[in-house]
Amino acid sequence: MFIDEAQIRIKAGNGGNGCVAFRREKYVPRGGPSGGDGGKGGDVIVQATQQHNTLIHFRHRRHDQAESGHTGEGSNCSGSSGKDLILQVPVGTEVINDATGEKLVDMVEYGQEFVAARGGRGGRGNARFATSTNQAPRRADPGEPGGELELRFSLKLLADVGLVGFPNAGKSTLISRISAAHPKIADYPFTTLEPNLGVVTVGESESFVVADIPGIIEGAHEGHGLGLRFLRHIERTRVLAHMIDVSDFSERDPVSDYEVVMNELASFSPKLAAEPMVVVATKIDAAQSPERVESLRRFCEAKKLAFYMISSVTGKGIDELKRYLGTRVREVREAAVEAE
């Protein structure tokens, strides 16, 4: 699916209680009330970040609470405010009030912040209540409770890398090799009826999300095949990998396949066709006609397109392609942050 959701109950911090205290210092006669105010409770803030590209880090966080404000102290010392709770979500996440279904905000920019629940105000200490007629008040206010809410995060676009190409070009098979996803794989057209997602790990700390887009055929932008239904989902992917079957089992010309799919992407959105792209020749283990591969290679060289050959059956070229995609995703992410 191209929708990832997580639910979480949040609670802002309670305000600290006001303090009842009196000065009892030497040489300070009639010191009077000196109770300080309680500190403000911490807010719960939703922040759009590039540190995450899924909502998986919320799967085991059902409840979360900001720090409460501290109680006021004597000598007119106010309690310290509670620390804010920052909930980081990927760009493109909708924040929804789960109880009412109301969309509160759409996190569309890096660094964007939204205060989902405000911390309670700290209570007043007894020093606040001193008057000419009540010089020793023993009253202090309790802190106000922080806001509490059931939130639902809905991420409508997860893919950093979108795999495009004709049906049976090897998109689902590649995802099954480079991630833990287990899409349905069969040797007939339109096996994939819904996009499949996989998280690909590169090195020890980097990862990106890859999605296969159900087969795009000629006329997809006009509603033919399944392409139109899913073309809109890849408009915000960072990199496109164009999968082309070069095996002898395919009756189509590899270069023609590229041109047909690119024409559909451009007809749907010129911006989409201009996305960073790599051409991937698939099923090379079954390519007995070198001229099919070479014609595609020469075409890519003329177009200055990155070109990789892989076999999802033997694993040839898979690691090199993973590293390339990871590098391209990282470069595009960094460029997007610098542009903010």
Please give the residue range of the domain that contains residue 297.
161-339
At 248 the pLDDT is: 81
Neighbouring C-alpha atoms within 13 Å toward the C-beta of 241: 32
Do 143 and 181 sit in the same domain of this protein?
Answer: no
In sequence order, the β-bridge partners of residue 105 are 95
Q: What pLDDT shows up at residue 216?
A: 62
- Enumerate the β-bridge partners of residue 199: 209
Q: Do both 186 and 141 map to the same domain? A: no
Written as one string, the DSSP assignment of 175-208 is HHHHSS------SSTT---S-EEEEEEETTTEEE
307 in the same domain as 255: yes
**Judgement on whether residues 318 and 226 belong to the same structural domain of the protein:** yes
Instruction: Clarify whether residues 144 and 288 are in a common domain.
Output: no
pTM assigned to the model: 0.56
Say how many C-beta atoms besides its own lie within 10 A of residue 32's C-beta: 14
Do 119 and 196 share a domain, yes or no?
no
Final residue of a domain: which of 157, 172, 196?
A: 157
> Based on the domain organization, do 151 and 174 belong to the same domain?
no
Q: Would you state the structure tokens that stand for residue 123, as one six-digit string?
A: 């209570």
Which residue carries 């979500």 as its tokens? Answer: 89
Is the domain of 144 the same as that of 22? yes
Can you give the pLDDT at residue 55?
A: 82
CATH number of the domain bearing residue 147? 2.70.210.12
206 and 106 within one domain: no
Last residue of a domain, one of 157, 175, 199: 157
Same domain, residue pair 139 and 176: no
Residue bearing tokens 């000196």: 34
pLDDT at position 227 is: 46
Rounded Cα gap, residues 195 and 175, in angstroms: 11
Looking at the fold, whether 50 and 138 belong to one and the same domain comes out as yes
* pLDDT of the chain, 340 residues: tens digit per residue: 455 688 999 999 999 999 999 987 777 667 789 999 999 999 999 999 877 777 878 877 889 999 999 999 998 999 999 999 999 998 888 999 999 999 999 988 888 999 999 999 999 999 999 998 888 899 999 999 999 999 999 886 557 888 888 877 888 888 888 876 554 444 534 444 456 777 788 876 677 888 877 656 544 434 444 444 556 556 667 888 999 999 887 778 899 988 888 887 888 777 777 778 899 999 998 888 888 899 999 999 999 999 999 998 898 999 999 999 989 988 887 877 676 5
- CATH number of 263's domain: 3.40.50.300
Q: Which residues does residue 106 pair with via DSSP β-bridges, in sequence order?
A: 94
Handedness of CA 27, 33, 37, 38 (dihedral sign): positive
Number of domains the chain is built from: 2
| Among 124, 157, 190, residue at a domain's last position | 157
Structure-block tokens of residue 304: 């200055």
Q: Do 206 and 103 share a structural domain?
A: no
